[in-house]
């Protein structure tokens, strides 16, 4: 009886809760807003920026709210559920739910990639409505059609406690949406036994298999969308060199299938594959001419230039800082600056100056992979093979504007399956001159429709041949390439001729070229087979070259990226792969250098060495005894330990985390005499630690040391740039770190971000003050990059700061290409070119001299600004910067983009732009780490 009463009481309470929730939802939801119920860490979404309207409830980490605007989902990129759920890897029952009007569409998101053990109630989604469509990307998502009653029950379950949906997929997000379009139909060819769908294992290996099955199904959407496009025209073109594939057997098909396909081809008209493009015109930029009247750093040449351009300045001179504040309504903005879209073109990757072709940016290599393991494998092997003084390897950016990084990317490595949106970017990159290395990737379908793939045994060890490397044992992918002999361009009697000989089979005639159309232009993609495996006798290495734009894609179905150590648990595979590992690396290096034109020259390995403490004896002793960060002659931080050693003390062996510093010795690779003879400062640069090889100079100044303390390093192994990016550190690059102690009540203390501008201005000013160097074309790209000839990056800064009491500790890291031609060009090369063009005899800037004159200028400008002359810094900055009169695209908080005109920088160093309504706003960069000039500025001329 007691249990019956308790059950009745619980039922009433449940009924009452559901009624209250249903009334709340009915009275809150309308056609403009949406209900969102999610875990706290998924409430924000950078892809869909919406505003919170009302907070409805909050329980532990789950939040229910209404948001605006309501998301509208295009179902064209979604897949229809199969009519027979036995063909779907997730168990779905045949529940039939009667829905009442009005119908509501729900977007459900569940965690997919990995499974972490947790306690949740499992519910079957189909019990709450009709399943409409699904997709599997970062998460598993489905669209459910339901009504208010079922929505209330579903939301109540999620709100009350954590729940899992079908197959124990952890539910993360529920949202009401509007839909448009129709989901795509695919062919569900594999039937999954009930045991597989119901009695599944949650072990990592089985979960990965389940995720892989699901994503492979979703990838059929590629084929579906491709079939909606016209098939490309395949032509046989005579070529001077055609790579024979004598070892490749033909792919046999029935005569009925072949004839049927030929009949279909005859009916088709000559089709083109159209890949949309974007206008690549590059706007121009006018250089700002600033007239300097106050600074003592003027040279005779500067004065002449000012007189010659005075009339130009009167017409176009932007207002100074004080005037800018009154130019229209001025306000701080959360807006970000981004670029207009432009495709990659070969001409954008380099610039020609005085007959010398140079890279405009340090070239990047991007890695896209469908798993963390694959990504790490690719990055590790690239670091082993590529010239690491020339290239920086990044993860492929999945968010943001892709057009910001495409022009400075030398190669994109694609490993595994590719999502539709990424496929679009990769195709645009390829047809505009980019280079792709595709390792066991389905991107093949989007580039070469003439090839299909056939499933083979997964993780099979095969013998692979490529050029001079024969019968190399490699791991093969689960698919192999097949060029269909049913195409009418293939030899019709290839099967018969092969069988008649009864010996070495001959492949069907390969299609030599595919004609595609792009943006109204025709392109010819040449196709070659570079290598084959001998287990299934099919091509395993293909080359597709866009003839007119030099775009190249290499497709490999053998795992060139996998290290043998991954198969240590399998003795036979490990032994075979270990024996062929040298050949694997040689093959990959040959492909990268010969077919993809990358520099794989060997960079000599470096060893860590002791550092040297430079300065007067009194200054060194004062720092060692009075600096709070140095105790017992040791400076210790999270990154490195610095130990100072006096006379007759044996230093410890240096390493990446330990730097022994000799107090009373001088380096052989750095002339202290030349440095201190050229140094005219009172504090900045007077105490220096010099090191031949170091992880990063920034590590040494991460503690509070002394105003003006400097670290100079010849080579870095872990150089860091802005936003944590890798910084290339080739020999010849002038790299230093500087610590400044800026009082908060001072002029710079009130405008602390301007310190970075001060240092970069000092670098250019120091170089141009040298006699004969006034016309060396150096400029500033906002916020802190150094450019040569207006379009070639040769240096940059990274700045961090912390505030202690009334003092800001500002750490500046700087790298300038002084005497290194790679990865772009350098200052001394500009001097050499000028000597040839102008018949002059300017001497290159010496390594030690560069640091001295730069630090002289930093201290000189620092003292003048701190004395109250902030206008001096702005005048110098405007004299050298590249952006006056340039246009940018500003994206506001509402996501709307508009063009604006650059007018200057504000007192905090942010960019000032004049909007179309005449108001002046301060904006920040969009954070792109590859090429801020493309991402920020769209100049009218360069």
Alpha-carbon distance of 628 to 703, in angstroms, equals 9
CB half-sphere exposure, 492, CA atoms < 13 A: 7
Specify the pLDDT at position 345. Answer: 32
Q: Are 794 and 827 in contact (CB under 8 A)?
A: yes
pLDDT of 590 > 80? The answer is: yes
**Shortest CA distance to 625 belongs to which of 646, 641, 604?**
646
pLDDT of 339 > 90? The answer is: no
Q: How confident is the model at residue 9 (pLDDT cuts 50, 70, 90)?
A: low
Reported as a single tens digit per residue, the pLDDT across 778-833 is: 998 888 889 988 888 888 888 888 888 889 999 999 999 998 877 778 999 999 99
pLDDT of 519 > 50? The answer is: yes
Alpha-carbon distance of 554 to 414, in angstroms, equals 10
Instruction: Look at the block and give the residue holding tokens 């390493």.
Output: 655
**Phi and psi based region of residue 866 (left: phi greater than 0; alpha: psi -120 to 50; beta: remaining):** alpha
CB atoms near residue 309 (< 10 Å): 16
More confident call, 339 vs 192: 192
Reported as a single tens digit per residue, the pLDDT across 397-436 is: 776 555 556 667 889 999 988 888 788 888 888 888 889 9
Helix, strand, coil percentages for the chain (3-state, nearest 5): 30, 30, 40
- Residue-range domains of the chain with CATH: 21-222 (no CATH), 363-483+511-595 (3.40.50.880), 611-880 (3.30.930.10)
Reported as a single tens digit per residue, the pLDDT across 43-69 is: 555 455 567 777 777 777 778 888 888
Tokens of 262: 């030929």
CB atoms near residue 197 (< 10 Å): 18
Q: Work out the widest C-alpha separation in the chain, in whole angstroms.
A: 109
Specify the pLDDT at position 523. Answer: 76
Q: For 10-14, 500-504, 509-513, 844-848, which range has the lowest pLDDT when averaged over its residues?
A: 500-504
pLDDT of 705 > 90? The answer is: yes
Task: Report pTM.
Answer: 0.54
Specify the pLDDT at position 283. Answer: 35
- pLDDT averaged over the chain? 74
Reported as a single tens digit per residue, the pLDDT across 365-374 is: 889 988 888 8
Reported as a single tens digit per residue, the pLDDT across 298-309 is: 443 444 444 443
Reported as a single tens digit per residue, the pLDDT across 181-229 is: 888 888 888 888 887 787 777 788 788 888 888 888 888 775 555 444 3
Specify the pLDDT at position 683. Answer: 95
Q: How confident is the model at residue 848 (pLDDT cuts 50, 70, 90)?
A: very high
Specify the pLDDT at position 335. Answer: 46
Reported as a single tens digit per residue, the pLDDT across 131-187 is: 999 998 888 999 999 998 898 888 888 777 678 888 888 888 899 999 888 888 888
* Residue 80 Cα to chain centre, angstroms: 32
**Phi and psi based region of residue 431 (left: phi greater than 0; alpha: psi -120 to 50; beta: remaining):** alpha
pLDDT of 270 > 70? The answer is: no
Specify the pLDDT at position 350. Answer: 46
Average of per-residue pLDDT across 241-250: 36
b or e along 125-140 (b: 16 or more beta carbons within 10 Å of the residue's beta carbon)? bbebbbbbbbbbeebb
**SS3 state of residue 941:** coil
Alpha-carbon distance of 736 to 499, in angstroms, equals 70
Q: Are 410 and 386 in contact (CB under 8 A)?
A: no
Residue 823: asked if its preceding bond is cis (omega within 30°), the reply is yes
Specify the pLDDT at position 260. Answer: 38
Q: For 339-343, 397-401, 663-667, 680-684, which range has the lowest pLDDT when averaged over its residues?
A: 339-343
Tokens of 428: 């645009």
More confident call, 555 vs 401: 555
Q: How confident is the model at residue 96 (pLDDT cuts 50, 70, 90)?
A: confident
Average of per-residue pLDDT across 763-789: 89
Specify the pLDDT at position 62. Answer: 78
Helix (H) or strand (E) holding 767, with range, is helix 754-768
Q: How confident is the model at residue 120 (pLDDT cuts 50, 70, 90)?
A: confident
Q: For 262-276, 523-537, 548-562, which range has the lowest pLDDT when averaged over its residues?
A: 262-276
Please state, for a pLDDT cut of 90, what percent of the chain lies above it.
Answer: 22
* Residue 50 Cα to chain centre, angstroms: 25
Q: How confident is the model at residue 77 (pLDDT cuts 50, 70, 90)?
A: confident
Instruction: Look at the block and give the residue holding tokens 């070239």.
Output: 363
Reported as a single tens digit per residue, the pLDDT across 435-444 is: 999 988 888 7
Specify the pLDDT at position 674. Answer: 94
Q: How confident is the model at residue 484 (pLDDT cuts 50, 70, 90)?
A: very low
Tokens of 918: 């005449």
Q: How confident is the model at residue 517 (pLDDT cuts 50, 70, 90)?
A: low
Reported as a single tens digit per residue, the pLDDT across 856-886 is: 999 999 999 999 888 889 888 888 888 777 7
Q: How confident is the model at residue 729 (pLDDT cuts 50, 70, 90)?
A: low
Specify the pLDDT at position 253. Answer: 35
pLDDT of 553 > 70? The answer is: yes
């Amino acid at each position: 009886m007691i249990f019956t009463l308790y059950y009745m009481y619980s039922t009433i309470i449940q009924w009452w809760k559901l009624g209250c929730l249903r009334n709340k939802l009915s009275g809150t939801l309308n056609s403009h807003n949406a209900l969102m119920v999610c875990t706290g860490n998924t409430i924000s979404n950078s892809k869909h920026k919406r505003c919170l309207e009302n907070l409805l409830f909050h329980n532990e980490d789950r939040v229910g709210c209404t948001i605006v605007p309501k998301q509208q989902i295009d179902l064209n990129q979604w897949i229809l559920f199969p009519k027979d759920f036995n063909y779907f890897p997730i168990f779905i029952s045949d529940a039939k739910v009667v829905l009442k009007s009005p119908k509501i569409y729900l977007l459900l998101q569940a965690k997919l990639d990995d499974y972490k053990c947790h306690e949740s109630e499992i519910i079957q989604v189909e019990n709450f409505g009709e399943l409409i469509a699904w997709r599997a990307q970062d998460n598993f998502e489905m669209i459910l059609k339901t009504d208010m009653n079922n929505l209330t029950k579903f939301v109540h379950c999620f709100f009350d406690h954590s729940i899992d949906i079908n197959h124990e997929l952890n539910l993360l997000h529920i949202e009401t949406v509007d839909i448009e379009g129709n989901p795509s139909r695919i062919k569900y060819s594999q039937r999954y036994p009930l045991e597989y769908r119901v009695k599944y294992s949650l072990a990592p290996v089985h979960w990965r298999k389940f995720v892989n099955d699901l994503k492979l199904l979703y990838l059929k959407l590629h084929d579906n969308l491709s079939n909606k496009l016209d098939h490309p025209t395949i032509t046989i073109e005579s070529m001077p060199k055609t790579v024979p594939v004598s070892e490749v057997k033909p792919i046999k098909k029935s005569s009925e299938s072949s004839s049927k396909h030929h009949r279909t081809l005859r009916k088709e008209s000559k089709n083109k594959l159209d890949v949309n493009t974007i206008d690549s015109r590059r706007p121009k930029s006018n250089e700002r001419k600033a007239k300097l009247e106050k600074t003592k750093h003027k040279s005779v040449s500067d004065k002449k230039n000012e007189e010659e351009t005075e009339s130009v300045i009167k017409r176009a001179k932007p207002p100074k800082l004080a005037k800018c504040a009154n130019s229209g309504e001025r306000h701080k903005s959360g807006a970000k600056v981004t670029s207009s879209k432009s495709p990659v073109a070969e001409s954008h990757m380099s610039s020609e100056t005085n007959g010398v072709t140079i890279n405009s940016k340090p070239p990047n290599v991007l890695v896209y992979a469908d798993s963390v393991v694959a990504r790490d494998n690719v990055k590790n092997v690239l670091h082993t093979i590529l010239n690491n003084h020339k290239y920086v390897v990044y993860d492929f950016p999945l968010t943001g504007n892709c057009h910001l990084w495409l022009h400075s990317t030398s190669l994109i490595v694609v490993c595994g399956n590719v999502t539709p949106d990424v496929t679009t970017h990769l195709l645009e990159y390829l047809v505009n001159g980019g280079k792709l290395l595709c390792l066991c990737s389905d991107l093949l379908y989007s580039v070469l429709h003439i090839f299909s793939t056939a499933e083979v045994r997964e993780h099979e060890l095969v013998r692979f041949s490529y050029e001079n490397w024969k019968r190399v044992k490699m791991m093969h992918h689960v698919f192999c390439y097949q060029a269909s002999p049913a195409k009418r361009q293939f030899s019709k009697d290839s099967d018969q001729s092969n069988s008649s000989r009864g010996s070495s089979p001959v492949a069907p005639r390969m299609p030599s070229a595919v004609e595609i159309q792009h943006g109204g232009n025709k392109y010819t993609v040449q196709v070659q087979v570079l290598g084959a495996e001998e287990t299934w006798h099919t091509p395993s290495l293909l080359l597709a070259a866009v003839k007119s734009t030099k775009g190249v894609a290499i497709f490999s179905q053998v795992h060139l990226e996998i290290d043998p150590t991954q198969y240590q648990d399998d003795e036979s595979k490990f032994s075979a792969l270990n024996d062929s590992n040298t050949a694997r690396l040689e093959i990959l290096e040959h492909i990268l250098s010969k077919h993809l034109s990358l520099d794989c020259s060997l960079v000599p390995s470096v060893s860590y060495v002791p550092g040297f403490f430079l300065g007067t004896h009194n200054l060194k002793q004062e720092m060692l005894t009075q600096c709070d960060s140095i105790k017992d002659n040791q400076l210790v931080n999270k990154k490195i330990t610095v130990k100072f050693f006096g006379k007759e003390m044996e230093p410890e062996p240096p390493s990446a985390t330990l730097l022994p510093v000799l107090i009373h010795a001088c380096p052989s690779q750095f002339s202290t005499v030349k440095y201190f003879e050229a140094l005219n400062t009172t504090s900045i640069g007077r105490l220096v630690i010099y090191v031949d090889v170091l992880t990063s100079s920034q590590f040494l100044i991460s503690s509070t040391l002394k105003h003006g303390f400097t670290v100079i390093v010849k080579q870095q192994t872990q150089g860091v740039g802005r936003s944590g990016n890798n910084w290339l550190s080739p020999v010849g690059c002038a790299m230093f770190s500087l610590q400044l102690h800026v009082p908060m009540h001072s002029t710079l203390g009130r405008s602390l971000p301007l310190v970075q501008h001060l240092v970069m201005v000092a670098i250019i000013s120091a170089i141009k003050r040298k006699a004969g160097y006034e016309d060396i074309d150096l400029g500033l790209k906002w916020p802190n990059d150094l450019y040569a000839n207006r379009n070639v990056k040769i240096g940059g800064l990274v700045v961090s700061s912390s505030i202690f009491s009334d003092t800001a500790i500002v750490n500046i890291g700087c790298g300038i290409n002084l005497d290194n031609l790679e990865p772009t060009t350098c200052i001394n090369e500009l001097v050499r070119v000028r000597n040839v063009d102008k018949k002059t005899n300017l001497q290159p800037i010496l390594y030690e001299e560069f640091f001295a004159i730069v630090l002289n200028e930093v201290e000189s400008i620092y003292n003048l600004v701190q004395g109250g002359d902030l206008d001096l810094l702005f005048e110098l900055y405007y004299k050298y910067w590249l952006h006056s009169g340039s246009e940018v695209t500003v994206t506001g908080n509402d996501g709307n983009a508009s063009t604006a005109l650059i007018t200057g920088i504000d007192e905090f160093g942010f960019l000032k732009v004049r909007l179309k309504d005449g108001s002046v706003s301060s904006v920040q960069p969009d954070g792109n780490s590859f090429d801020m000039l493309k991402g920020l500025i769209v100049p009218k001329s360069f």
